[in-house]
Chain A
Amino acid sequence: MQKKYSWYSLLKAGLSNQEWDKAIPLSKPKSKYDVIIIGGGGHGLATAYYLAKECGITNVAVVEKGYIGGGNTGRNTTIIRSNYLRDEASSLYEHSMRLWEGLSEDLNFNVMFSQRGVYNLGHTLQDMRDIERRVNANVLNGVDAVVVDHKEIKEQIPIINTSKNVRYPIMGASFQARAGVARHDGVAWGFARAASNLGVDIIQNCEVIDIEIEEGRVKGVKTTQGDILADQIGCVSAGHSSVIAKMAGLRLPVESHPLQAFVSEAMKPILHTVVMSNAVHGYVSQSDKGDLVIGAGIDGYNSYAQRGSAKIVEHCAAAILELFPIFSRVRMNRQWGGIVDVCPDACPVISPTKVEGLYFNCGWGTGGFKATPGSGNVFAHTIAQDKQHELAVPFHVDRFTTGALIDEHGAAGVAH
């Protein structure tokens, strides 16, 4: 058992120069596991953690081709919210939200979940209709949400530009108070530490190069660290899901696109909440360190390179200045991209496949971080029971055949 993190342990370590345990033990693969999780991002590590904690399956390995949390987990803008439109989606994200609310304690690792609220701005009449529809749906589903007008927005965020004389004036917003942000790396590390504490092996620098299938059932994986046998395999490899699927002879309804984000240089606190606007294409919050964390849009082309186009980022900067003109002389410090796997209906796939014992958790698109604990939780149960978790049922990959899509794009265009 690892030492528990607390004030007491910090104090003791500080006084005695005592060493901390390894938070992330560096494991070498065993020859066989009950379950192998491909992908050591937040979702994969969470899956392993909940397999061990809630399903009693501890003979689990997480295999990661690079370092844990090195993909989209460490590249996103860390927004957490559950105010989704469709019942199926909001149930899943709300499940996640509830796990977030106890996550630091559960993991004994401060993931710095900060419920500073999220505003989704509306700039047109149709935006406001959509916001009303979504907020009403949220409330009926037990998700906290309110509609606020531009005056209330100005009161809460004095630096935002609510002038009527701009290209897309802010008409109002939905606000979810329980929403917020978290420390992205900490989420991966917290899950990894807690999972390994329960006996999970976390194997880094271990790339899966093939999936072994015998008579329609998974047998194991070939990796850069050798062959590993497994009864069940859960694939949680985000942008690389299609690559893994191909190894198993499968196709997926996802495409990989670059998604970019950037941060400013750190400043004293000025923005205390999270502001998102689909209409002008940008979202922004300020981290505890002081930098503005800004998310841009995706590029339309497919890519496995973790970089996108300058125009996307520059348009996003312009969008942020529409909302916050005072940020004009603030400087971008760093910019980066991730690879997101996007489903046609903007909802994930949490599903068994035609190959027995092989499961996929993918297609989270631009919104996966907020779902990390919930996704891992329902996926763990799906693997453990070999039956979809109740909340995962609507996210079966077969929905693309039956037509039972969960279209989160919702009213995408105003068209009269």
Chain B
Amino acid sequence: MFLIDCPYCKESRDQNEFSPAGEAFIARPQNPEALSDEEWADYVFYRTNHKGDHWEQWVHTAGCRKYFLVKRSTISHEIIQVSTFGEIDSENAS
């Protein structure tokens, strides 16, 4: 049961208040029609599913309802960093 720091509420709250919302930094393609079927499928279905420190999205469902970014180890479940969208993107995420 994770304890998650909501970067909007600025409080550590129980996982019960949040919902996971998938891998982070999967940007919707700007021009889907220009993509090949393979590229489109990669966006819709394929995931990195990284073992290790992993950026993902969570939403504070029973709180501020904001989506935000969490860097969490998928091995130890330790949360390494939380961030709002805008603070971090796929370019500057480490």
* Contact between A and B in the complex (any CB pair below 8 Å): yes
Binding site for B on A (CB under 8 A): 240, 242-243, 251-256, 299-305, 309-311, 341, 344, 400-402
B55-79: which residues lie under 8 A (CB-CB) from chain A?
56, 72, 74-77
* Residue from B19, B41, B56 within 8 A of A401 (CB atoms): B41
The one of B19, B45, B49 that contacts A256, using a Cβ cutoff of 8 Å: B49
Contact status of A301 and B49, CB under 8 A, knowing A251-B42, A311-B15, A401-B41: no
Residues of chain A within 8 A (CB-CB) of B40 are 401
- Which among B1, B41, B47, B56 is the interface contact of A309 at CB below 8 angstroms? B1
11 of the cross-chain contacts (CB-CB < 8 Å) are A243-B51, A251-B46, A253-B45, A299-B20, A301-B20, A302-B49, A304-B75, A341-B49, A401-B37, A401-B38, A401-B41
Instruction: Among B37, B41, B45, B50, find the residue whose CB has the most chain A CB atoms closer than 10 A.
Output: B45
Tell me the chain B residues, 11-48 only, with Cβ under 8 Å from chain A: 15-16, 19-20, 23, 37-38, 40-42, 44-48
B51 touches A304 (CB 8 A): yes
**By DSSP majority rule, is chain B's interface helix, strand, loop, or mixed?**
mixed
Contact yes or no, A240 B51, CB < 8 A: yes
**Inter-chain contact B47/A251, CB cutoff 8 Å:** yes
For the complex, what is the distance from the CA of A240 to the CA of B50, rounded to whole Å?
10
Structural contact, A302 and B54, CB atoms closer than 8 A:
yes
Contact check, A310 vs B47: say whether CB atoms are below 8 A apart: no
Q: Which residue of B lies closest to A311 (CB)?
A: B16
**B residues in contact with A303, CB < 8 Å:** 74, 77
Residues of chain B with a CB closer than 8 A to A309's CB? 1-2, 15
Interface band, chain B:
20 to 34
By a CB distance below 8 angstroms, the chain A residues around B50 are: 242, 302
Cβ of B49: which chain A residues have Cβ within 8 Å of it?
242, 252, 254-256, 302, 341
Q: Which partner residue on chain B sits nearest A254 by CB separation?
A: B49
Which residues from chain B sit less than 8 Å from chain A, CB to CB?
Answer: 1-2, 15-16, 19-20, 23, 37-38, 40-42, 44-51, 54, 56, 72, 74-77
For B45, what are the chain A residues with a Cβ–Cβ distance below 8 Å? 253, 344, 400
* Pairwise interchain contact A251-B48, C-beta atoms closer than 8 A: yes
The chain B residue sitting closest to A253, CB to CB, is B45
A242-B75 in contact (CB<8A): no
Given contacts A251-B48, A310-B1, 13 further A-B contacts (CB under 8 A): A242-B51, A251-B46, A256-B74, A301-B20, A301-B56, A301-B72, A304-B51, A305-B74, A305-B77, A311-B1, A311-B16, A400-B41, A400-B46
Smallest beta-carbon distance A145→chain B, Å:
31
B23: A residues at CB distance < 8 A = 255, 302
Distance between Cα atoms of A339 and B4 in the complex (Å): 22
Q: How far is the CA of A311 from the CA of B62 in the complex (A)?
A: 15
Find chain A residues with CB under 8 A from B47 CB: 242, 251-255
| B contact residues around A299 at 8 Å (CB) | 20
